């Protein structure tokens, strides 16, 4: 074989190999086939490229340089091509993984099953919180009470018509179910010296049962007794409280009234939060809603509790919780509040 | 209470603007709840509070209006022209019970002609919804609504002995009252009697026998003052309520009797003819009524109000309201008018409370004129009590565990109360004396009956699962203490099928509820023991009592009666959860790897887990840091009466890495011992 021919044979072999590689590569799509292809062509020991490189021994010395360059070109091409294929295969593999792990993000989440706190408890908490921030403590007392604590000490004498306004449940043992949380005020004043600032939430009972009245309902009462407590302080405290509870721009008005345990006494109205005082169905067109009763602690009550009314003064107020809860959660009547229908209770959120 | 504007105008000059009248009366504490135009007049519906008997008549309201508008009050003429015959010669009055009747005034008018009242009088009465009867009765009603004194006119000819006696009724005595009802009397009740029999219920209603009729010629007009408790006892005892009793019960004006009787006599003589006998019979208890005085210090008034009240205004308001004010200095001596005595119950030393006087001034000063302020009290009153903190923690915890909070009435039917366990079965329930119905006749000793009833209500409404709780007071009859024991309990109910195949599906059972109870106890640092128990209302074999140390604080179990799906209930005394040991110390976890092991062994179903658990604790090999029961298996391959239990163990040392070999050795020894003690022997 002439020198030229030998060189030509060597070089044409490389062209053939290049074509063959491209043919084989075209048929490869998966990772395994790619791996086979890679080992067959650039495997360290038995790869075709290595064999071609080793074949340089049989090439004429004059042709070796050209042959060597040809094999290197082949090697570069094979390696480049394999790298490209690797990248493409990896991309396809990742895509497949991603696709198999993909979720419908709009499917429902798995909730830990949450319960709910009763609307009345929520409102009580809210009211108590405002007053604890103002430095009040929470005072509590018995629901089955004595006549003394529920009436007499609160300046409701025996056989007095003022008692008529509070239909009382009596117990067979001569006690009664408290008609207000005020007995807690009495118990506190009997056991402590001023200054006193307490808030008394709790259940109360009145013998009244219709669509608008429940025989059991909830009250929050407040009491502050110290030297120098004024009617202005009563107004200021109620204003601060009601603005926190309802709206920062809420307005109140005090109408003189009568309760045996306060003097002077007042009914407190808040400007209707539905129509902001313009007059609507909720406030019967008056622009005001009656909200609570309050007053300066009657000196007879202070005397009964051993607190000198010449030195100390105080204010007290009391409001129903249930109606506030009903308004807040749009509950149409008070009985619904105590039906305990889970479908309603579970809707109640903070 | 209805008032006629036209009638009020007889005593005080009023503006045309009735809205202004409404607003200003309301602002001084006489809430005008309605205004109605009627035949050129305006009728005011005023909510007169129980302490303001003095305003339950037109003159009283006019007095407030005179102060509001700064115009004079015109008091009507009350002096009749008298004949020469003396009243003492025509009638006599004796009072036996001065306590019940501290004053009694009577006048006699002879020769009246009973007939319809003149138009002006009829119009006055009809304006406020009263029905005219005849000229004499109408005058007495008119006086009541004019100045507030309840009066009664007797047909003098029908009074035995022409005399009246105020005394207690006799046992078995009866009286037919003006309304035609026959009343059975008793010595609790105060009556007006003639020489022979009762002729009227003191302060409530007259008798039919001595009533003024068309044939009446001579009348005796009674204007008395009766003790308010006596009138209340009489009226309530007989189930009666009249305009007169309404006023006497709340405290009438003891100084009004004579003026009212005289004005009535004058009016009767004017419209029904007849001669008013000379003088009046006026029997009065000694030193009655007391004179009540107090001091009003203007500086203290301002300090009480938190506002500066003009001195001249205060003086004008008090004087206008009938208070006598003496001394122009910084403190005034004030005498309370007789018509306000009952609203001014005196201090122990017999003087008036200054706060009562402050109230009078501040009503007219106006609460709107007092600036709002916050009291300058520093610090806080007292921290929350452990109980308050615990209660709210438990409430939050239970809600976070999926339970919805409920609120029930504290009274229930006695049968219901008995249907479930009480934590204090020896304590009787408190019984209501005036229950709404027998569905609510005792105070509950347990929260569970209500909760079960509510669970059923929700079941019937189609809820696939029920999870509710309540935190409330229960009541025990405790005869030895001032008030009965009223501890707070927490009650729980659950049952049904919760979740779905996608979302944490489970059939709620005993262990779901037990887990909730245990997690509450855990959250408050309390360890509970569950001991099998036989309890009313709960399924035998599915009930336990809860112990903390050796104190029983609750119970848990499956409700015996079933509907749709089983219900599980629990009740725990909040006391029992107090004072738990919530550790503030934590243990650092080991830095070395842990080795775990599982053991499954077969044992009798009669062997309680608690015993196995206790045994593991007792045998506890070194470095065993944790174990838990993971599988209970009954079924194929497990002999009858036996159960397979799988326990997971975790070994970990804080000092080094343990080897599998040493853990195997310890675990095998433990397993062998458990097998020896509890293993199924067939």
The whole-number pLDDT of residue A350 equals 60
- pTM of the predicted protein model: 0.88
Q: Looking at beta carbons, which pairs linking B553-561 to residues 24 or more positions away fall under 8 Å?
A: B553/B423, B553/B528, B553/B577, B554/B423, B554/B517, B555/B421, B555/B423, B556/B510, B556/B513, B556/B514, B556/B517, B556/B530, B557/B510, B557/B533, B558/B510, B559/B452, B559/B495, B561/B537
CB-CB neighbors (< 8 A) of B28 in chain A: 256
Closest partner CB to A135 (pick from B347, B371, B381): B381
Could you report how far apart the first and last alpha carbons of chain B are, in Å? 89
Q: Write down the ipTM of this complex.
A: 0.90
Residues with Cβ within 8 Å of residue A89, at least 6 apart in sequence: A29, A30, A31, A34
- Preferred mutation among B55, B303, B381 to probe A, highest tally of A CBs within 10 A: B381
pLDDT (0 to 100) of residue B682: 74
- Identify the helix (H) or strand (E) that includes residue A24: helix A3-26
Strands B404-405 and B506-508: unpaired
Q: Does B386 touch chain A (CB under 8 A)?
A: no
From A125, which residue of chain B is nearest by alpha-carbon distance?
A: B392
| B359, B369, B467: best to mutate for the A interface, most A CBs within 10 A | B359
Residue B663 has pLDDT above 60, yes or no: yes
Give the range among A330-339, B7-16, B555-564 with minimum mean pLDDT. A330-339
Q: What is the rounded CA–CA span in Å between residue B401 and residue B462?
A: 22
Interface test with B, best of A107, A164, A171 (most B CBs within 10 A): A171
Rounded Cα–Cα distance for residues B493 and B468 (Å): 5
Is B431 within 8 Å of chain A by CB? yes
- What is the Cα–Cα distance from A235 to A298, expressed in whole angstroms? 17
Per the DSSP assignment, residues forming a β-bridge with B37 are: B42
| Residues of chain A with C-beta less than 8 angstroms from the C-beta of B378 | 135
Burial (Cβ within 10 Å: 0-12, 13-18, ≥19) of residue A281? exposed
Measured CA to CA, the distance from residue B20 to residue B18 in angstroms comes to: 5
Considering only the beta carbons, identify the residue of A113, A145, A236 that sits closest to B483: A145
Chain B nearest-CA distance from A115, in A, is: 4
Query: Quick one: CA dihedral A144, A148, A154, A159, positive or negative?
Result: positive
The C-alpha of B514 sits at a distance from chain A's nearest C-alpha, in angstroms, of 17
Q: Which residues pair with B2 in a beta bridge?
A: B45
- A350 interfaces chain B, CB cutoff of 8 Å: no
Confidence of residue A7 (pLDDT cuts 50, 70, 90): very low
Is residue A125 within 8 angstroms of chain B, CB to CB?
yes
pLDDT (average), residues B354-378: 94
The per-residue DSSP string of A58-116 comes to GS-HHHHHHHHHHHHHHHHHHHHHHHHHHHHHHHHHHHHHHHHH---TTSPP-PPPP-B
3-state SS class at A40 = helix
| Cβ pair B25, B61 in contact under 8 A | yes
A 10 A CB-CB count for A161 gives 19
Q: By CA distance, what is B441's nearest residue in A?
A: A171
* Alpha carbon of A111: minimum distance to chain B alpha carbons (Å): 8
Compute the average pLDDT of residues B153-157: 96
Option in B377, B392, B461 nearest A135 (CB) = B377
Q: Tell me what pLDDT residue A3 has.
A: 41
A171 touches chain B (CB under 8 A): yes
Nearest alpha-carbon partner for B307 in B377, B375, B374, B372: B372
Q: Is B108 helix (H, G, I), strand (E, B) or coil?
A: strand
Cβ atoms of residues B13 and B67 within 8 Å: no
Residue B242: the pLDDT is 95
Q: Taking each helix axis from N to C terminus, what angle separates B58-69 and B311-320, rounded to the nearest 10 degrees?
A: 160
Nearest chain B residue to A210 by CA distance is B436
Could you tell me the pLDDT band of residue A207, with boundaries at 50, 70 and 90? very high
**Best CA proximity match to B332, nearest among B309, B348, B349:** B309
In chain B, positions 551-610, which contact chain A (CB-CB < 8 Å)? none
- Residues in chain B with CB shorter than 8 Å from the CB of A117 are 395-396, 399, 405
| Sheet hosting strand B642-651, strand order edge to edge | B595-604, B642-651, B624-633
Q: B533 phi and psi, to 5 degrees?
A: -150, 160
SS3 B310: coil
- Torsion-angle region of B674 (φ positive above 0: left; ψ -120 to 50: alpha; else: beta): alpha
Q: What is the average per-residue pLDDT within B62-82? A: 95
Across B88-218, the runs of DSSP E, i.e. the strands, are: 92-95, 103-110, 152-155, 163-168, 174-176, 182-184, 190-193, 198-201, 205-206
Q: Confirm or reject contact between B398 and chain A (CB < 8 A).
A: yes
Residue in A337, A319, A309 with CA at minimum distance from that of residue A266:
A319
- Of all residues in chain B, the one with the smallest CA distance to A131 is B380
Instruction: Find residue B275's DSSP bridge partners.
Output: B110
Q: How many other C-beta atoms lie within 10 A of the C-beta of residue B344?
A: 18
Any CB–CB contact under 8 A between A263 and chain B? Answer: yes
Mean pLDDT of the residues in chain B = 95
Strand partners, B633: B644
Query: Which residues share a beta bridge with B465?
Result: B496
Judged by CB atoms closer than 8 Å, whether chains meet at B406 and A340 is answered as yes
Beta strands A196-205 and A137-138 are parallel
Report how far apart, in Å, the C-alpha atoms of A345 and of each of A203, B76, B81, B489 are.
19, 64, 76, 20
Give the Cα separation of B391 and A142 in Å (integer).
Answer: 16
Of the pLDDT bands very low, low, confident and very high (cuts 50, 70, 90), residue A9 is low
Average pLDDT rounded to a whole number, residues B602-618: 96
- Average pLDDT of chain A? 90
- Which of B47, B372, B383 should be substituted to probe chain A, the one whose Cβ sees the most A Cβ atoms within 10 Å? B372
Cβ neighbors of B176 (< 8 A, separation 6 or more) are B182, B183, B207, B208, B209
Residue closest to A122 by CA, chosen among A290, A296, A324: A324
Residue A299 distance to chain B (closest CA, Å): 7
Q: Please name the residues in contact with B520: beta carbons below 8 A apart, sequence gap of 6 or more.
A: B394, B397, B398, B401, B490, B572, B577
Higher local confidence (pLDDT), B596 or A210: B596
Contact A176, B411 (CB under 8 A): no
Separation of alpha carbons A107 and A324, rounded Å: 38
**Searching chain B, which residue's CA lies closest to the CA of residue A215?**
B409
Beta bridge partners of A200: A221
Is there a contact between A24 and A17 (Cβ–Cβ < 8 Å)?
A: no
Q: Which residues pair with B559 in a beta bridge?
A: B538
DSSP per-residue letters across B250-303 = H---TTSHHHHHHHHHHHHHHHH--EEEES-EEEE-TT-SPP-EEEEEHHHHHH
Contacts of A228 in chain B (CB under 8 A): 303, 375
Q: Return all residues near B80 (Cβ < 8 A) that are at least 6 apart.
A: B107, B262, B263, B265, B266, B269, B276
CA distance A98 to chain B (A): 23
Question: Which of A164-173, A276-285, B13-22, B505-514 is predicted least confidently?
Answer: A276-285
pLDDT in tens, B480-523: 899 999 999 999 999 999 999 999 899 999 999 999 999 999 99
What percent of chain B has a predicted confidence (pLDDT) above 70?
Answer: 100
Q: Is A146 on the interface with B (CB under 8 A)?
A: yes
Looking at chain B, which residue has its C-alpha nearest residue A138?
Answer: B384
User: Which residues 29-68 of A have a C-beta within 8 angstroms of B?
Assistant: none
**Contact B189/B144 with Cβ under 8 angstroms?**
no
End-to-end CA gap in chain A: 98
Residue range B522-542: mean pLDDT, rounded: 95
Q: Report pLDDT digits (tens) over A289-340.
A: 889 999 999 999 999 999 999 999 999 999 999 999 998 898 888 989 999 9
- Higher pLDDT: A272 or A115? It is A115
Residues B248-287 have pLDDT tens digits of: 999 999 999 999 999 999 999 999 999 999 999 999 999 9
Residue A4: predicted pLDDT: 43
Kindly report whether the peptide bond that precedes residue A195 is cis, defined as omega within 30 degrees of 0: yes
Q: CA-to-CA distance for A259 and A9, rounded, in angstroms?
A: 123
CA-to-CA distance for A303 and A294, rounded, in angstroms?
A: 19
Of B222, B247, B223, B340, nearest in space to B292 by CA? B340
Residue A278: its pLDDT value, please? 85
Report the relative pairing of strands B163-168 and B92-95 from DSSP bridges.
parallel
Stated as kind and residue range, the H or E segment containing A42 is helix A31-42
Contact status of A268 with chain B (Cβ, < 8 Å) = no
Residues B168-208 have pLDDT tens digits of 999 999 999 999 999 999 999 999 999 999 999 999 999 99
Q: Give the side-chain half-sphere CA count within 13 A for B660.
A: 0
Region B334-342 average pLDDT: 96
Is B348 part of the contact surface with chain A (CB cutoff 8 Å)? yes
Residue numbers in B near A310 (CB within 8 A): 354
Q: Are A261 and A309 contacting, i.e. CB atoms less than 8 angstroms apart?
A: no
């Amino acid at each position: 074989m002439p020198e030229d021919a030998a060189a030509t044979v060597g070089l044409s072999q490389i062209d053939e190999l290049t074509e063959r590689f491209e043919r084989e590569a075209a048929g490869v799509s998966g990772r395994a086939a790619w791996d086979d292809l890679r080992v067959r062509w650039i495997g360290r020991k038995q790869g075709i490229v290595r064999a071609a490189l080793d074949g340089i021994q049989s090439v004429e010395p004059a042709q070796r340089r050209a042959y060597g360059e040809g094999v290197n070109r082949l090697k570069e091409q094979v390696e480049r091509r394999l790298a490209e294929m690797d990248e493409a295969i990896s991309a396809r593999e990742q895509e497949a993984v991603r696709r198999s792990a993909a979720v419908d993000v709009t499917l429902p989440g798995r909730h830990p099953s949450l319960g709910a706190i009763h609307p009345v408890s929520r409102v009580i908490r809210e009211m108590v919180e405002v007053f604890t921030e103002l430095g009040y403590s929470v005072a509590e007392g018995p629901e089955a009470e004595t006549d003394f604590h529920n009436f007499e000490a609160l300046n409701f004498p025996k056989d007095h018509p003022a008692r008529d306004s509070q239909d009382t449940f009596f117990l067979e043992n001569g006690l009664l179910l408290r008609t207000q949380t005020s007995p807690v005020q009495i118990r506190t004043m009997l056991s402590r010296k001023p200054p006193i600032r307490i808030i008394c939430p709790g259940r109360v009972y009145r013998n009244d049962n219709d669509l608008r009245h429940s025989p059991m309902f909830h009250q929050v009462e407040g009491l502050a007794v110290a030297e120098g407590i004024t009617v202005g302080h009563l107004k200021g405290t109620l204003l601060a409280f009601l603005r926190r509870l309802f709206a920062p721009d809420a307005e109140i008005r005090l109408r003189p009234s009568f309760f045996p345990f306060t003097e002077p006494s007042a009914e407190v109205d808040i400007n209707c939060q539905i129509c902001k005082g313009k007059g609507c169905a909720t406030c019967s067109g008056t622009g005001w809603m009656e909200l609570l009763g309050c007053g300066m602690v009657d000196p007879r009550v202070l005397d009964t509790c051993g607190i000198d009314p010449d030195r100390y003064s105080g204010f007290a107020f009391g409001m129903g919780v249930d109606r506030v809860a009903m308004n807040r959660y749009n509950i149409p009547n008070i009985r619904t509040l105590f039906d305990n229908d889970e479908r309603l209770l579970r809707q109640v959120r903070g | 209470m209805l008032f006629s504007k036209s009638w009020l105008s007889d005593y005080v000059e009023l503006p045309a603007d009735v809205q202004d009248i409404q607003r200003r009366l309301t602002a001084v504490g006489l809430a005008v709840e309605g205004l109605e135009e009627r035949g050129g007049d305006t009728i005011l519906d005023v909510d007169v509070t129980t302490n303001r008997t003095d305003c339950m008549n037109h003159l009283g309201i006019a007095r407030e209006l005179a102060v509001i508008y700064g115009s004079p009050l015109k008091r009507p003429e009350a002096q009749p022209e008298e004949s020469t015959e003396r009243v003492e010669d025509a009638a006599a009055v004796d009072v036996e019970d001065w306590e019940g009747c501290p004053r009694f005034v009577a006048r006699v008018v002879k020769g009246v002609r009973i007939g319809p009242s003149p138009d002006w009088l009829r119009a006055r009465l009809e304006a406020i919804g009263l029905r005219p009867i005849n000229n004499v009765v109408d005058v007495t009603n008119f006086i009541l609504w004019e100045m507030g004194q309840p009066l009664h006119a007797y047909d003098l000819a029908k009074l035995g002995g022409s005399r009246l006696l105020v005394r207690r009724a006799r046992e078995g005595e009866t009286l037919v009252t003006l309304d035609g009802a026959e009343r059975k009397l008793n010595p609790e009740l105060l009556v007006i009697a003639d020489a022979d029999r009762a002729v009227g219920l003191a302060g409530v209603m007259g008798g039919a026998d001595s009533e003024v009729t068309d044939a009446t010629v001579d009348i005796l007009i009674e204007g008395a003052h009766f003790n308010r408790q006596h009138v209340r006892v009489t009226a309530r005892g007989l189930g009666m309520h009249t305009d007169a009793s309404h006023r006497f019960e709340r405290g009438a004006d003891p100084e009004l009797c004579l003026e009212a009787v005289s004005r009535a006599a004058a009016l009767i003589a004017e419209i029904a003819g007849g001669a008013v006998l000379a003088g009046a019979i006026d029997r009065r208890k000694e030193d009655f009524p007391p004179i009540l005085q107090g001091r009003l210090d203007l500086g203290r008034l301002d300090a009480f109000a938190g506002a500066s009240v003009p001195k001249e205004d205060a003086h004008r308001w008090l004087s206008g309201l009938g208070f006598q004010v003496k001394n122009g200095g910084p403190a005034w001596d004030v005498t309370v008018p007789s018509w306000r005595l009952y609203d001014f119950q005196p201090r122990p030393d017999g003087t008036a409370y200054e706060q009562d006087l402050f109230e009078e001034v501040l009503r007219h000063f106006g609460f709107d004129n007092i600036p709002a302020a916050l009291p300058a009290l520093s610090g806080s009153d007292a921290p929350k009590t452990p109980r308050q903190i615990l209660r709210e923690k438990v409430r939050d915890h239970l809600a976070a565990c999926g339970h919805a909070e409920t609120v029930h009435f504290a009274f229930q039917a006695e049968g219901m109360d008995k249907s479930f366990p009480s934590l204090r079965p020896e304590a009787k329930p408190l019984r209501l004396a005036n229950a709404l119905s027998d569905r609510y006749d005792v105070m509950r000793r347990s929260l569970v009956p209500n909760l079960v009833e509510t669970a059923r209500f929700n079941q019937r409404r189609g809820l696939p699962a029920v999870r509710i709780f309540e935190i409330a007071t229960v009541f025990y009859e405790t005869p030895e203490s001032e008030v009965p024991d009223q501890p707070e309990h927490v009650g729980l109910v659950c049952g049904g099928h919760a979740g779905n195949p996608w979302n944490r599906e489970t059939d709620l059972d005993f262990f779901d509820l037990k887990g909730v109870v245990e997690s509450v106890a855990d959250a408050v640092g309390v360890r509970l023991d569950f001991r099998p128990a036989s309890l009313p209302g709960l399924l035998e074999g599915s009930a336990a009592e809860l112990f903390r140390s050796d104190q029983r604080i609750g119970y848990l179990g499956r409700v015996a009666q079933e509907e749709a799906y089983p219900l599980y209930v629990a009740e725990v005394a909040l006391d029992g959860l107090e004072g738990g040991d919530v550790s503030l110390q934590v243990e650092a976890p080991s830095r070395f790897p842990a080795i775990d092991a599982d053991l499954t062994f077969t044992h009798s179903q009669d062997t309680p887990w608690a015993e196995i658990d206790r045994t593991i604790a007792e045998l506890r090999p070194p470095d065993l840091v944790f174990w838990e029961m993971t599988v209970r298996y009954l079924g194929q391959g497990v002999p009858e009466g036996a159960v397979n239990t799988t326990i997971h163990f975790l070994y970990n040392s804080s000092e080094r890495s343990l080897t599998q070999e040493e853990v195997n050795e310890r675990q095998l020894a433990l397993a062998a011992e458990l097998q020896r003690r509890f293993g199924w022997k067939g």
